[in-house]
Chain A
């Protein structure tokens, strides 16, 4: 039977778990019709006259529903059913990793809605609204440039998430200095020091995203431990980007990480990528003479950067 399928398509949004009734357009409620779901005929048990009734819909019931007049198989109505949920309260976070240039705000929904969600963000500071430049690659993120610094007034950010089933919003307020959190230090390198079996030299660089180290110097937190021991040792360094560990266990491989913080404000960065190194060790004496002739430094240096096996715990407790 040839089905005439020319018909404008409609959309119907339904909340997950609710009952849905689809009208067959303007057809008489008591007329005889046939409904198909994605070209599969639906049996009469779902029909209430010419209306289609779906109970406790789930995601799999999203799709195209078509209604045909019973005898002529003429398509009378077509609707796209979209099943999902209204947005829950979005999770919003703002952070300045390139202070004092500006800060970014990023957000996500605590659970999926299976719908096209749109977001609207407003930022108020000193009773004025500030523009938040959408971050093209990262959809759920935007950037605010500072024009003034050392402000005692709070920033107030409100984010509203909306989709066809509803909307929800979150508001946070914070002081300029409280959201400063640098990126982790970069280019961390650990090396043994010749003839020093208990020392390791560690060097690192400012995060490249930190724009003005002169005016806004960072202090650093170094943690290190032999692989065979779980307990970290810590040292805080307020100047410079290098440190010599002087109490390393001879011959033991060490794991080393560094975190950064503005000297006065904000919170510690995440830990840097972990690096490994083993202190210098004496050449074993029993080797043959010509081997001894050449001074060899056995330094099992594996000063390479290893992706962290497990993400370092948030170093915020590092500061305690």
Chain B
């Protein structure tokens, strides 16, 4: 990358990081209203249910700490890209009919999904800019399945929100690390001028 591209990429990474932080705050509010909409026990702070079968399909952000430290930028971006591809599919199935009964919630969900789609696009763009190939989209494990009983569907939604929150937290760490590793264009200019 020449210095101009470098500068653009660094700016894009900063924007991606800022969007991730924005999504964290947005999700915090959305999750609170959605869990209140689901009602007890889902909105109780100590609620810690087992993961249902549906929830197991949602990509988990949990990672071995040594392994996470050893991931390079390409691997981190790819893991994020793959996760949000799946999470967006799950998010679409979250838009249950009864959610429409609460328009504000319905609107917040749609807005959040659009923002998350934007983040996915941003990650893809930066991977391309850094010369990384996009991970081949695995078919998300969402096969049309019989609609689970209402309580289990709510459990799936609960775990989806939880995983989204954890992924955004992990992404913020990944992207913050990335933006430090792509030097500001000024530095690149000095490096280049010294070379001639």
Which residues of A come within 8 Å of B, CB atoms?
A: 100, 127, 146-154, 156, 173, 177, 214-217, 263-265
Instruction: State the main secondary structure of chain A at its contact with B.
Output: loop
Residue from B24, B46, B166, B177 in contact with A151 in the complex, judged by beta carbons closer than 8 Å: B166
Q: Which residues of B contact A214 (CB under 8 A)?
A: 177, 180
Given contacts A150-B61, A152-B163, contact A177 B46 (CB under 8 A): no
* Residues from chain A with Cβ under 8 Å of B162 in the complex: 152
**Contact across chains for B65 and A152 when beta carbons are under 8 A apart:** no
Residues of B within 8 A of A177 (CB): 166, 169
- Residue B193 is within 8 A (CB to CB) of chain A in the complex: no
A264 in contact with B180 (CB, 8 Å): no
Contact A151 B64, beta carbon cutoff 8 Å? no
How many residues of chain B have a CB within 8 Å of chain A? 26
CA distance A215 to B71 in the complex (A): 12
B61 pairs with A215, CB closer than 8 A: no
Return 30 A-B CB contacts under 8 Å, by A number: A148-B62, A148-B64, A149-B68, A149-B170, A150-B61, A150-B62, A150-B68, A150-B167, A150-B170, A151-B61, A151-B62, A152-B60, A152-B61, A152-B163, A152-B165, A152-B166, A153-B48, A153-B62, A173-B46, A177-B166, A177-B169, A214-B177, A214-B180, A215-B173, A263-B172, A264-B21, A264-B169, A264-B172, A264-B173, A265-B169
Q: Known: A215-B69, A264-B21. Is A152-B62 also a contact (CB below 8 A)?
A: yes
Bound CA–CA A116/B165 (angstroms)? 44
Chain B, interface SS category: helix
Give the nearest-CB partner of B159 in chain A.
A152
How far is B173's CA from A215's CA once the two chains are assembled, in angstroms? 6
The interface residues of chain B lying within 8 Å CB-to-CB of A216 are 173
State the total of A-B contacts with C-beta under 8 angstroms.
57
Query: Which residue of A150, A214, A265 has the most chain B CB atoms within 10 A of its CB atom?
Result: A150
Contacting pair B65 A100 (CB below 8 A):
yes
The 4 closest A-B pairs by CB, nearest first: A150-B61, A152-B166, A154-B48, A150-B170
B48 touches A156 (CB 8 A): yes
The yes or no answer to B12 lying at the interface (CB within 8 A) is: no
Nearest A residue to B177 by beta-carbon distance? Answer: A215
Residues of A within 8 A of B165 (CB): 152
Closest residue of chain B to A265 (Cβ to Cβ) is: B169
A147 lies within 8 A of B62 (CB) = no
- Give per-residue flags for B139-174: 1 if the beta carbon is below 8 A from chain A beta carbons, else 0: 000000000000000000001001101110110110
